[in-house]
Protein backbone atom coordinates (compact mmCIF):
# COMPACT_ATOMS: atom_id res chain seq x y z
CA UNK A 1 0.00 0.00 0.00
CA UNK A 2 1.30 3.41 -0.93
CA UNK A 3 1.44 5.92 1.95
CA UNK A 4 1.79 9.65 1.32
CA UNK A 5 2.57 12.24 4.01
CA UNK A 6 2.19 15.94 3.34
CA UNK A 7 3.03 18.57 5.94
CA UNK A 8 0.56 21.45 6.21
CA UNK A 9 0.92 24.91 7.72
CA UNK A 10 -0.31 25.52 11.26
CA UNK A 11 -3.32 27.48 9.99
CA UNK A 12 -4.54 24.66 7.74
CA UNK A 13 -6.82 21.91 8.94
CA UNK A 14 -5.19 18.48 9.21
CA UNK A 15 -6.94 15.71 7.30
CA UNK A 16 -6.42 12.16 6.08
CA UNK A 17 -7.65 10.67 2.82
CA UNK A 18 -7.83 6.88 2.45
CA UNK A 19 -8.49 5.30 -0.94
CA UNK A 20 -9.06 1.55 -1.01
CA UNK A 21 -10.86 -1.09 -3.03
CA UNK A 22 -12.54 -2.52 0.07
CA UNK A 23 -13.04 -1.29 3.64
CA UNK A 24 -11.20 -4.05 5.52
CA UNK A 25 -10.89 -4.29 9.29
CA UNK A 26 -7.34 -2.90 9.00
CA UNK A 27 -8.58 0.15 7.13
CA UNK A 28 -11.46 0.57 9.59
CA UNK A 29 -8.93 0.40 12.44
CA UNK A 30 -6.86 3.13 10.78
CA UNK A 31 -9.98 5.27 10.37
CA UNK A 32 -10.97 4.74 14.01
CA UNK A 33 -7.46 5.57 15.20
CA UNK A 34 -7.34 8.74 13.11
CA UNK A 35 -10.73 9.85 14.43
CA UNK A 36 -9.99 9.16 18.09
CA UNK A 37 -6.29 9.89 18.29
CA UNK A 38 -4.24 7.83 20.70
CA UNK A 39 -5.82 8.44 24.07
CA UNK A 40 -4.47 7.76 27.51
CA UNK A 41 -5.64 6.15 30.72
CA UNK A 42 -4.60 7.49 34.10
CA UNK A 43 -3.28 4.79 36.43
CA UNK A 44 -1.73 4.44 39.86
CA UNK A 45 1.48 2.72 40.84
CA UNK A 46 2.48 2.98 44.49
CA UNK A 47 2.11 6.73 45.23
CA UNK A 48 2.42 7.94 41.64
CA UNK A 49 -0.27 8.79 39.10
CA UNK A 50 0.91 7.75 35.63
CA UNK A 51 -0.44 8.50 32.17
CA UNK A 52 -0.54 5.32 30.04
CA UNK A 53 -0.99 5.67 26.25
CA UNK A 54 -3.58 3.21 24.92
CA UNK A 55 -1.24 1.77 22.31
CA UNK A 56 1.02 0.42 25.10
CA UNK A 57 -1.77 -1.53 26.80
CA UNK A 58 -1.90 -5.30 26.23
CA UNK A 59 -5.01 -5.99 28.30
CA UNK A 60 -7.13 -4.73 31.17
CA UNK A 61 -8.35 -7.09 33.87
CA UNK A 62 -10.73 -6.80 36.81
CA UNK A 63 -9.84 -8.86 39.91
CA UNK A 64 -11.61 -8.56 43.28
CA UNK A 65 -13.15 -5.15 42.49
CA UNK A 66 -9.78 -3.75 41.34
CA UNK A 67 -8.94 -2.97 37.72
CA UNK A 68 -5.41 -3.53 36.42
CA UNK A 69 -3.85 -2.29 33.19
CA UNK A 70 -1.14 -4.61 31.83
CA UNK A 71 1.66 -3.40 29.59
CA UNK A 72 4.47 -5.42 27.99
CA UNK A 73 6.16 -6.34 31.27
CA UNK A 74 4.50 -4.33 34.03
CA UNK A 75 1.07 -3.44 35.36
CA UNK A 76 -0.77 -0.50 36.94
CA UNK A 77 -4.02 -0.08 38.79
CA UNK A 78 -6.78 2.24 37.60
CA UNK A 79 -9.89 3.46 39.38
CA UNK A 80 -12.05 2.87 36.29
CA UNK A 81 -14.34 -0.15 35.94
CA UNK A 82 -14.20 -2.33 32.83
CA UNK A 83 -17.54 -1.10 31.51
CA UNK A 84 -16.26 2.49 31.77
CA UNK A 85 -13.07 1.62 29.93
CA UNK A 86 -15.01 -0.09 27.14
CA UNK A 87 -16.44 3.35 26.29
CA UNK A 88 -13.04 5.07 26.48
CA UNK A 89 -10.68 2.59 24.81
CA UNK A 90 -10.31 2.72 21.05
CA UNK A 91 -12.17 0.22 18.83
CA UNK A 92 -9.20 -2.16 18.66
CA UNK A 93 -9.89 -3.21 22.23
CA UNK A 94 -12.43 -5.99 22.73
CA UNK A 95 -14.02 -7.75 25.66
CA UNK A 96 -12.75 -11.34 25.78
CA UNK A 97 -14.31 -12.39 29.09
CA UNK A 98 -16.46 -10.97 31.84
CA UNK A 99 -13.32 -9.74 33.60
CA UNK A 100 -10.98 -8.83 30.71
CA UNK A 101 -10.55 -6.54 27.71
CA UNK A 102 -7.69 -7.20 25.27
CA UNK A 103 -5.91 -4.99 22.78
CA UNK A 104 -6.37 -6.77 19.44
CA UNK A 105 -3.19 -5.12 18.10
CA UNK A 106 -1.20 -7.10 20.68
CA UNK A 107 -2.56 -10.53 19.65
CA UNK A 108 0.16 -12.67 18.06
CA UNK A 109 -1.95 -15.77 17.40
CA UNK A 110 -5.16 -17.49 18.45
CA UNK A 111 -5.99 -21.16 18.92
CA UNK A 112 -9.34 -22.88 19.21
CA UNK A 113 -9.93 -24.86 22.38
CA UNK A 114 -12.47 -27.38 23.57
CA UNK A 115 -15.79 -26.01 24.70
CA UNK A 116 -15.90 -23.27 22.06
CA UNK A 117 -13.27 -21.09 23.71
CA UNK A 118 -10.14 -19.62 22.17
CA UNK A 119 -6.68 -18.97 23.55
CA UNK A 120 -4.86 -15.82 22.42
CA UNK A 121 -1.10 -15.49 22.66
CA UNK A 122 0.02 -11.88 23.01
CA UNK A 123 3.28 -10.43 21.71
CA UNK A 124 4.68 -10.30 25.25
CA UNK A 125 4.27 -14.09 25.56
CA UNK A 126 1.24 -14.04 27.85
CA UNK A 127 -1.82 -16.10 27.00
CA UNK A 128 -5.42 -15.12 27.65
CA UNK A 129 -8.58 -17.16 27.34
CA UNK A 130 -11.38 -15.84 25.16
CA UNK A 131 -14.68 -17.02 26.64
CA UNK A 132 -17.02 -18.72 24.20
CA UNK A 133 -19.61 -15.94 24.49
CA UNK A 134 -17.03 -13.47 23.12
CA UNK A 135 -15.42 -15.72 20.46
CA UNK A 136 -17.78 -14.69 17.66
CA UNK A 137 -17.06 -10.97 18.15
CA UNK A 138 -13.29 -11.50 18.43
CA UNK A 139 -13.30 -13.62 15.25
CA UNK A 140 -15.24 -10.91 13.42
CA UNK A 141 -12.92 -8.17 14.62
CA UNK A 142 -9.78 -10.18 13.69
CA UNK A 143 -11.26 -11.15 10.28
CA UNK A 144 -11.03 -14.89 11.04
pLDDT digits (tens, 9 = 90+) for 24-81: 877 877 776 676 656 788 999 888 999 898 889 999 999 999 999 999 999 999 999 9
What does pTM read for this prediction?
Answer: 0.74
Rounded Cα distance between 136 and 144, Å, is: 9
Per-residue pLDDT band at 89 (split at 50, 70, 90) = confident
pLDDT of residue 35: 66
CB 31 within 8 A of CB 18: yes
pLDDT of residue 120: 95
Q: What average pLDDT does the segment 86-110 reach?
A: 92
Amino acid sequence: MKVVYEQVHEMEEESAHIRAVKKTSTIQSAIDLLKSGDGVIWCRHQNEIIRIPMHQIYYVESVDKHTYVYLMNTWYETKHRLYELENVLDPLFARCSKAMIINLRKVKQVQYEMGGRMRAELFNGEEVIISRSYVKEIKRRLDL
